[in-house]
Structure 1
């Protein structure tokens, strides 16, 4: 890798304001990386709900259908919104500042560099998967491609990790609690049935089961995101109330993992007072890859030979890896270093770019074409 040449390409990509509300810029980011990869590969383009994505792989299958890929390199090119100056990349010492530098355009571009160098030479099919909706859930990128039949054995998602590995990410359940009571004058509470009290008693039971942690812990957490009532008067008993819950759970949680939205709603109803109902809006599976899996071990060893500890990290937020994990496909997050994700001073550590590139290359070149779980 010629670092200065790579950084020039990275700066151009980081200047693209590829946010969810700018579909033309999402498409520009995807096409920019496809141009970076260059000709000589098969490119499948996808689109779902206006969100573009692409799958790139070597043309060596004599007209056969798309193969099951031994490895998929997954990179997302969308970013969260930022001020205009955040789309004017700048280098200060060993830091490259820009929206998306850490999360995760630089890692995605390294994946593209490695892909174009190796994809035609490896004894197994390798894919580069470029998506543009991870920041808004990934359902129109990674999930859409999986629904169209894209599949593989092992996936490396280029999320920032400073060459550590994320083999575990939490799932999520987002739910609404709705309470119904009987209105009345606030001076005569015995004549009414306060919906807000019912709701808060229910929330209290949930938070007793899932107390708010005071430090980082790998367990299920419940965030009370919103509480509201249509009541607008001090002297009125609320007849209705609603609360929003954001629940994050690891694969080890048998109450939530593997459950349907209906089953999760039934579980949450066990905490509810009479008059409180549950509606589950969204459920995403947790992600887990076996730490002793051969590819995981070999990727760690490749990073360690670059001088990095390659420790296991645990991600409390969601990840596109859950879409793979839910289909029995092993996936890990593995990317460059940096800091300031989603903040005004986001940056990538330039010193981690070449080691990341070398670790990916070594891993892919040493990997056997057959699976060895």
Structure 2
């Protein structure tokens, strides 16, 4: 079967897919996006459907389920956006729209690659719809149902570089109490929000925001709230949401249990902390043969294939937790999660070619 891809036809399918507002809050749209990609595949393949937490996903392969030599993983959900972001537009070599770069185009390319090689190689196509909200009901759910492979390629944007490392993720809430009073008489109260701000500042003193890109632990203050419904009240409680990203090797955070992490952050802040979610850092040995083969495939189509670290967490961490190595490898573009998101159409054919060459180079 010919390994080339019709780029213009794929862009047209991508435009249709980008127009589907497949955000977490729209379960019908998530299913519509999944069905559109599945409809692009040839008949005769096994389509195993999953559903968890209202999020549909699928695993596609030839014949019966087995341990796969490789899995191509793509997510079809996107972060919310204004209506105009779901009206794709082409400007020269750039295709703009929500999900163009993260990662509907990559998912369609992966589907095309899989369609080429499904009968030839022991590979599978994994399509999920919840990566942007944690991946527990898509990739992690399928792994829990026995889906395994030697190696996984996730189509997250990378300009055909190979992402072998990403930071861990920790979501925590910090709480402070006080007692209320009339705002005109603040000395009669104890402002919980001021106490909370002191605790947040203490955590940020330990993990300051870098002035430029650094491979280090960072803390984002995502939200502060009180139960106040009026200006003229001293708040008697306050809560902060913290999004913490940490690399492998952080002695404070790596390998700690949620209770230990909560205790560490609470000691820094001098306030109660609860850990809502934690995922460890993800790292693949750069010397693994599959990494070298993927780099070689990227170089063969004119890209550097260099190794890359990613600051954000992805579904690779679920495979890492199961002892399965996964890398991110996607097309070129920029602006994911922003109003300026775009994918470089010129990278579609090389991306397709590199994936085909990589899979065919794998020792079976």
Distance in structure 1 (CA, Å) of the matches to 2:186 and 2:343: 61
Aligned pairs for 1:38-57 (under 5 A) are 38-57=42-61
Q: Say whether 1:4 aligns with 2:8.
A: yes
In structure 1, the residue matched to 2:312 is: 317
- Partner SS for 1:80: coil
TM-score (normalizing by structure 2): 0.91
Structure 1 partner of 2:350: 355
Deviation at 1:342, TM superposition (A): 2.2
Name the counterpart of 1:106: 105
**Equivalent position SS for 1:270:** helix
Distance 2:239 2:191 in 1: 12
**1:17 matches 2:21:** yes
CA deviations 1:217-250 (Å, max 9, x no partner) are 1111112223344467888765433222111111
User: Could you list the runs of 4 or more consecutive aligned residues of structure 1 that deviate by over 4 angstroms after TM superposition?
Assistant: 182-189, 191-194, 230-238
Task: From the superposition, tell whether residues 99 and 227 of structure 1 become closer, same or farther in structure 2 (CA, over 3 Å).
Answer: closer
Distance 1:363 1:207, change over 3 A: same
**In structure 2, C-alpha distance between the alignment counterparts of 1:188 and 1:27, rounded to whole Å:** 53
> Does 2:125 align with 1:128?
yes
Structure 1: gaps of 5 or more residues: none
Deviation of 1:127 (Å): 0.7
Please, what is the CA RMSD of the aligned residues? 2.2
Matched, 1:336 2:312: no
SS at match of 1:43: strand
2:256 alignment partner, one of 250, 254, 259:
259
Shift of the 215–43 alpha-carbon distance from structure 1 to 2, 3 Å rule, reads same
For the pair 1:211 / 2:208, whether they are aligned, the reply is yes
SS at match of 1:37: coil
Which stretches in structure 2 are left out of the alignment for 5+ residues? none
* Inter-CA distance 91–228: structure 2 relative to 1 (3 Å threshold): closer
TM-score by length of 1: 0.89
Quick one: structure 1 residues 179 and 336, their matched pair in 2 at CA, closer, same or farther if it must change by over 3 Å? same
Query: For 1:149-168, what aligned pairs fall within 5 Å after superposition?
Result: 149-168=146-165
Distance 2:335 2:243 in 1: 23
Alpha-carbon separation, structure 1, partners of 2:97 and 2:196: 43
Pair 1:24–1:292, CA change in 2 (3 A):
same
Query: Residue 257 of structure 1 aligns to a residue in which SS?
Result: coil
Deviates more, 1:27-36 or 1:15-24: 15-24
Q: Is residue 285–residue 323 contact of structure 1 (8 Å, CA) maintained in 2? A: no
Give the 3-state SS of the residue equivalent to 1:323 in structure 2. Answer: helix
**CA–CA distance in 1 between the matches of 2:228 and 2:344?**
51
- How many residue pairs were aligned? 359
Partner of 2:223: 226
